[in-house]
Amino acid sequence: MKKSLIIHIVVMIVAIICGSYLALHLNQEQGRLMPSKKLTNGAPMLGGFQKIASDVEWMLFINYMGSLKSVDQSNVKDVIERLEKILGYDPNFEKAYQVGVLSLTNEAPGKAVEILDKACQNDDLKNNWQLPFYAGFILTHAYNFIKETGTEAELRERKIQRAKQAVKFFEMAIKRSPKPEQYVVNSYIRAQAKAMNPDNDKMAALQVLFNTWNKQQGDMEMETSIIPDLNQKIIKAAQELKENSPDDPKAKELIEIVIKKVFKDQHICQKCLFTYATGDKFCQACGEKVEVYGVCPKCNAVLKGQYCSSCGFNARPPKPAEKKVQPKVKPEAKKADVKKTDAKKGK
């Protein structure tokens, strides 16, 4: 009896120790497989049924939203509560972020950004580029429809801060996307411009692009910019700036610097900044007279190769012949020659 009791106790102790260590290991492994597990709320009450609870809450939320005319001050709190409940049960619920959070943008943009920011920190959603994009979009657009109180300087400062925050989100969206959409890149540039100078964002946009280009040129490791087709975007920004502020001396100066540095090998119309082709006498975009290039000096036909296809003129005459240089003779070879001549004389 006593022996059996001892065996029972020993088995219990060994099982407790082994079970405890194994459970800890499994818990860690589960955390690695499901990183969002730590973000889940309401675990004690739901006993492992959080996902189904979120599904049920989601369907109730859809029904509730269908009963509303619009999300306004009278119901925004309720909408936030319901949404937070769903996302608390299931932090990976992408549709709840996309549909639910966007319904808050007009009445509670700050809360919408806060929820999206949490989603951006979720490792399970690290490949979703839309969530940071929505956050940036709300920051740059939603506040335009909200009447804010404060002095002009305060409002300006808030605008800059929001733009800076939006830049981070757009940058995250671009980095997460395998091939970033054009509108995401444009939003990123615009947000950077607003953060730099909210009063003249066209000029700031060109400055931002030019700074990026400069950085790219100076980077020894040749790290490519996150903005694709940078040169095209620079010329477009310069065109827009010229169109918007034709008489602004600062804008003119910036455009001149950009054109000289970035497009030094290209032929660009000075009036509309349109790139013109070989043989063009006038800009096809604005009709301005442009400096002709790539034509035969003899007949003015467009050159297609070395010889003019109209008159046979050689547009690239051979360079003047170089002086013939005497091949250097090695000193050892010279010595050998002297020996040979001496030997001949000796004979």
Residue placing its CB nearer to another protein in the complex, 25 or 289 = 25
Residue placing its CB nearer to another protein in the complex, 62 or 257 = 62
- Using CB under 8 A as the binding rule, whether residue 48 contacts another protein is answered as yes
Q: Applying CB under 8 A, which part among 25-33, 188-196, 292-300, 321-329 lies near another protein?
A: 25-33
Q: Which 59-98 residues touch another protein, going by CB under 8 A?
A: 59, 62-63, 90, 92, 95
How crowded is residue 73: how many other Cβ atoms within 10 Å of its Cβ? 8
Alpha-carbon Rg for the chain in angstroms:
36
190: helix, strand or coil: helix
CB 274 within 8 A of CB 283: yes
Which is nearest to 171 in space by CA: 193, 196, 188? 188
Amino acid at residue number 191: A
Residue placing its CB nearer to another protein in the complex, 122 or 187 = 122
Q: Applying CB under 8 A, which part among 14-22, 107-115, 238-246, 327-335 lies near another protein?
A: 14-22
Q: Applying CB under 8 A, which part among 33-41, 142-150, 255-263, 264-272 lies near another protein?
A: 33-41
What lies within 8 Å, CB to CB, of 74 at 6+ separation is: none
Shortest distance (Å) from residue 1 CB to another protein = 9
Which is nearest to 57 in space by CA: 35, 14, 89, 99? 89
What separation in angstroms does the CA of 177 have from each of 42, 165, 299, 302?
33, 19, 52, 44
What are residue 289's DSSP bridge partners?
282
Q: Applying CB under 8 A, which part among 43-51, 104-112, 130-138, 299-307 lies near another protein?
A: 43-51
Answer for which of 6, 18, 68, 299 binds another protein (CB under 8 A) is 18
- Using CB under 8 A as the binding rule, whether residue 52 contacts another protein is answered as yes
> Residue 300 and residue 107: Cα distance in Å, rounded?
66
Which residues of this protein are in contact with another protein, per CB under 8 A?
5, 8, 11-12, 15-27, 29-30, 32-34, 36-37, 43-44, 46-52, 55, 58-59, 62-63, 90, 92, 95, 99, 124
